[in-house]
């Protein structure tokens, strides 16, 4: 089994922001144990920015401007990797650093290169340690947190299991820090937007994720056919327990039977929408039931200031979003194409608002009969 294990900032750094060597050592020990049992492991780690802050601004707080954060990540990244490298080396293994960006999943050539690199590292017996390439990331195209990156990596390497390690035991019915009666949700069949909203925002000052981010990543994994487990990084043998499906390991999100490919997963969940296209009932039916391209004739309104190539949400007249895709026509010229049949479109405009290859339907197709 290929397992992707992601550990968050709060679990991999100490109170002063420096890398928590004991936490990394625990994780690496569990990675080695699973490898000895015949499994392959990829680690996705956060903590570079926080480690950089600890090195350069130990008492000055966390900066907010992008340029400084990127500079700090370059300082913290090699400190983080040194700890992983030493923890694995003590057990006779090598760590291989892999820094990824969103476009590595959106462009076919880059996707194939990333997949080949990770596959070869695993073949060589190396433990890939993955992080976002924060030091040079374009603010417009970034994951925002490593939970989503981990879900995309799980798809990239063909993993069967994604373990999201955090500072809580999983998803609870309420915030356990506030309500004593809160209980662990051990199984989630479907992660919807309402559940994500109920999970709240970032969980720690240094991190960018939180439980809502974990659920969003688990949803991504489920849509790519990967079982996801949200669990505590402090739990002993947490990775083995997740692999062995032991009860109480954390919150388990079941995979969907129909998996999305990597590019459509990226479109659906990793690209922030720049606007919305509202369609009539006929267009909605054609998109959901026939997986057709979205044509201008079925569009009744647009929202936002998007250009060709941007990600947009697709909603029905009731405002409910049911699809997402990369738009082929600009909002600035919407008056020239909304509601028009393809032969009526001005020269120079694409024939499809969203081509079927760039469209992801986010609701289940109706069952026949």
pLDDT in tens, 51-75: 999 998 767 677 778 888 889 999 9
Give CA 306 to chain center in angstroms: 23
Q: What is the mean pLDDT of residues 326-332?
A: 96
Q: Tell me, what's the pLDDT at 125?
A: 96
Q: Tell me, what's the pLDDT at 144?
A: 60
Q: Is pLDDT at 117 greater than 70 in this prediction?
A: yes
- Among 238, 262, 286, identify where a domain stops: 262
Element (H, E) at 303: strand 299-304
Strands 311-315 and 321-326: antiparallel
Mean pLDDT, the chain, whole residue set: 89
309, 282, 315: which is closest to 297 by C-alpha? 282
Within 10 A of 326 (CB to CB), how many other CB atoms are there?
20
pLDDT band at 181 (very low <50, low <70, confident <90, very high): confident
| CATH assignment of the domain containing 346 | 2.30.130.10
101, 203, 190, 202: which is closest to 153 by C-alpha? 101
Residues 131 and 239 in one domain: yes
Q: What is the mean pLDDT of residues 322-340?
A: 95
- Among 233, 262, 291, identify where a domain stops: 262
- Give yes or no for a contact between 216 and 200, defined as CB atoms under 8 angstroms apart: no
> What is the token pair recorded at 36?
């000895």
> What is the token pair recorded at 308?
């060709």
Residues 152 and 300 in one domain: no
Residues 132 and 155 in one domain: yes
pLDDT in tens, 192-227: 766 766 666 444 444 445 788 899 899 889 999 999
**Is residue 251 domain-resident?**
yes
The parent domain of residue 132 ranges over 2-262
- Angle of helix 146-156 relative to helix 211-223, nearest 10 degrees, comes to 20
Residues 297 and 352 in one domain: yes
Residues 109 and 215 in one domain: yes
- Among 262, 284, 315, identify where a domain stops: 262
DSSP-derived letter for residue 266 is: I
The number of residues in the chain equals 369
Question: Into how many domains does the chain fold?
Answer: 2
10, 232, 167: which is closest to 242 by C-alpha? 232
pLDDT band at 43 (very low <50, low <70, confident <90, very high): very high
Its pTM stands at 0.84
Residue 141 — φ and ψ, nearest 5°? -125, 85
> What is the token pair recorded at 5?
């294990």
Q: Is pLDDT at 137 greater than 70 in this prediction?
A: no
- Give yes or no for a contact between 196 and 230, defined as CB atoms under 8 angstroms apart: no
Q: Tell me, what's the pLDDT at 206?
A: 45
Residues 237 and 315 in one domain: no
Q: Tell me, what's the pLDDT at 203?
A: 47
**Is residue 72 domain-resident?**
yes
| CATH assignment of the domain containing 246 | 3.40.1160.10
**Is residue 110 domain-resident?**
yes
Element (H, E) at 179: none
Q: Tell me, what's the pLDDT at 209?
A: 52
DSSP codes of every residue in 95-119 = EEEEEE-THHHHSHHHHHHHHHHHH
């Amino acid at each position: 089994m290929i397992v992707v294990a992601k550990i968050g900032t709060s679990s991999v750094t100490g109170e002063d922001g420096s890398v928590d060597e004991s936490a990394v050592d625990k994780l690496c020990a569990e990675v080695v144990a699973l490898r000895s049992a015949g499994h392959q492991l990829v680690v996705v780690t956060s903590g570079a920015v926080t480690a950089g802050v600890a090195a350069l601004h130990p008492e000055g707080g966390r900066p907010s401007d992008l340029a400084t954060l990127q500079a700090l990540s370059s300082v913290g990244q090699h400190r983080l990797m040194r700890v992983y490298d030493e923890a694995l080396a003590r057990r006779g293994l090598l760590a291989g650093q892999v820094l990824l960006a969103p476009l590595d999943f959106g462009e076919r050539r880059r996707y194939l290169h990333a997949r080949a690199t990770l596959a070869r590292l695993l073949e060589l017996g190396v433990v890939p340690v993955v992080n976002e390439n924060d030091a040079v990331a374009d603010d417009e195209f970034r994951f925002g947190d490593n939970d989503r990156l981990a879900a995309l990596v799980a798809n990239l390497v063909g993993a069967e299991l994604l373990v999201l390690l955090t500072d809580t035991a999983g998803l609870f019915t309420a915030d356990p820090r506030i309500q004593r009666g809160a209980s662990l949700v051990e199984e989630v069949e479907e992660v919807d937007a309402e559940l994500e909203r109920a999970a709240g925002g970032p969980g720690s000052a240094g991190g960018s994720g939180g439980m809502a981010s974990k659920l969003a990543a688990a949803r991504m994994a489920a849509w790519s056919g990967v079982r996801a487990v949200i669990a505590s990084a402090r739990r002993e043998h947490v990775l083995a327990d997740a692999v062995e499906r032991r009860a109480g390991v954390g919150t388990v999100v079941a995979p969907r039977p129909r998996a999305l490919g990597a590019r459509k997963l990226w479109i659906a969940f990793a690209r922030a929408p720049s606007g919305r296209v509202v369609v009539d009932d006929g267009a909605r039916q054609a998109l959901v039931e026939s997986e057709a391209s979205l044509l201008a004739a079925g569009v009744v309104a647009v929202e936002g200031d998007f250009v060709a190539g941007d990600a947009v949400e697709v909603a029905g007249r009731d405002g409910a979003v049911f699809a997402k895709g990369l738009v082929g026509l600009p909002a600035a010229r919407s008056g020239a194409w909304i509601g028009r049949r393809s032969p009526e479109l001005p020269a120079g405009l694409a024939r499809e608002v969203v081509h079927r290859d760039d469209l992801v339907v986010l609701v289940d197709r109706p069952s026949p009969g």
